[in-house]
Amino acid sequence: MDILINVVLPLSLAIIMFSLGIGLTVGDFTRVLKAPRAFAAGAIAQVIILPVVAFGIVLAFDLPPALSAGIMLLAFCPGGVTSNVISKWARADVALSVSLTAVISLLSLLTVPALTAWAVTYFMAENAPDISIASLTLAVFAITTVPVCLGVFIRHVATGFAIRIDPVLSLMSSVLFVIIVIAAIASNWALFTENLSTLGPSLVTLNLVLIGIGLAIARGLALDWSQTKTVAVETGIQNGTLGIALGTLIANQPDGFLSPLTLPSAIYGVTMYLVVTPFVLWFRRPRGDS
């Protein structure tokens, strides 16, 4: 388990973020100027509305402090590569999805450490681990921002090579994510079984509400259908691997175990696909049938 926490977990996240960077071009960052309403809808929903909804759901389900903080940590995470893949499956505006993921992932360097420190302190009170925002910011920079920027750089200077290795990196990140999810659940098995009846429904509710809000916001702004689908996906899908990694860094568990803070992100890695699959099937239908 020590190898998993100290080597496999950060390496997995770095590979996932590097894979994200490999798929990005400079145009993905400037494209936001071409579709400002769609980008603003996705960004506001993900950065502001999502954490507010998560906070309300945590209070409504009355979860234990560590799990409440873990759900909030998940809510602060950007969409990651998963939201881009799901947007592609849903026949949504993949370019918009990639642009949102790129910008929000870099913005997370500023938002995630401070908000996470607040959530852990708020919910866990005297049982909260000591959190250095500076150290957490450095960790987020090292395991997310640096790999993304490196990937973008390689894509720019060696486009052909980047395109060739992209599928391999995606496969590697998927396999590593499955391993990490299983390990997080297994190392917190007693807590998982004790809280499954509330933790599972709370995460499913979070997903459903956020996708619904994303759809409502996009339709209210009269975005086209492909952009609407993207905003819904980007609002409802978070980077569970980042949640697991940061939960582990914050808690610094002894004996090589993953922290209870990681459990919501791990369970979310399973429930997310159960929730989003019917939406993807609906989104893939011709517009006249929806």
End-to-end alpha-carbon separation of the chain, Å?
47
Q: What is the pLDDT of residue 36?
A: 87
Alpha-carbon gap, residue 72 to 55, rounded angstroms: 7
Integer Cα distance of 268 and 229 in angstroms: 21
DSSP 3-state of 24: coil
- What per-residue confidence (pLDDT) applies to 289? 45
**HSE-up of residue 2 (Cα within 13 Å, Cβ side):** 2
Whether 259 maps to a domain, the answer reads: yes
Give the number of residues written for the chain.
290
Quick check: 229 and 90 in contact, CB under 8 A?
yes
Cα of 285 vs its chain's centroid, Å: 26
8 Å CB contact between 129 and 120: yes
Domain span at residue 27 reads: 2-284
Residue 94 lies in a domain: yes
Provide φ and ψ at 90, rounded to 5°: -80, 0
Question: Per the domain annotation, does 289 fall within a domain?
Answer: no
Residue 233 within any structural domain of the chain: yes
Please give the helix or strand (H or E) that residue 92 lies within, else none: none
pTM of the model: 0.85
pLDDT for position 56: 95
Contacts of 190 (CB under 8 A, 6+ apart): none
Residue 290 forms part of a structural domain? no
- Helix, strand or coil for residue 78? coil
Instruction: Identify whether 194 is part of a domain.
Output: yes
- CATH code, domain carrying 101: 1.20.1530.20
* Tens place of pLDDT per residue across the chain (290 aa): 556 666 677 777 788 788 878 877 777 777 767 778 999 999 999 999 999 999 999 999 988 999 999 999 999 988 777 888 888 889 898 888 888 888 888 888 888 889 999 999 999 988 888 888 888 888 888 888 888 889 888 988 888 888 888 888 878 877 877 777 787 777 778 878 887 888 899 999 999 999 999 999 999 999 999 999 999 999 998 888 888 888 888 876 555 556 788 889 888 888 888 899 999 999 988 865 44
Give dist(CA 54, CA 46) in Å, integer. 11
- The predicted pLDDT at position 290 comes to 47
Environment class of residue 221 by beta-carbon count within 10 Å: exposed (0-12), middle (13-18) or buried (19+)? middle
In a domain, 41, yes or no: yes
Number of domains, the chain: 1
Is 7 a domain residue?
yes
Residue 265's CB: how many other CB atoms inside 10 A?
A: 29
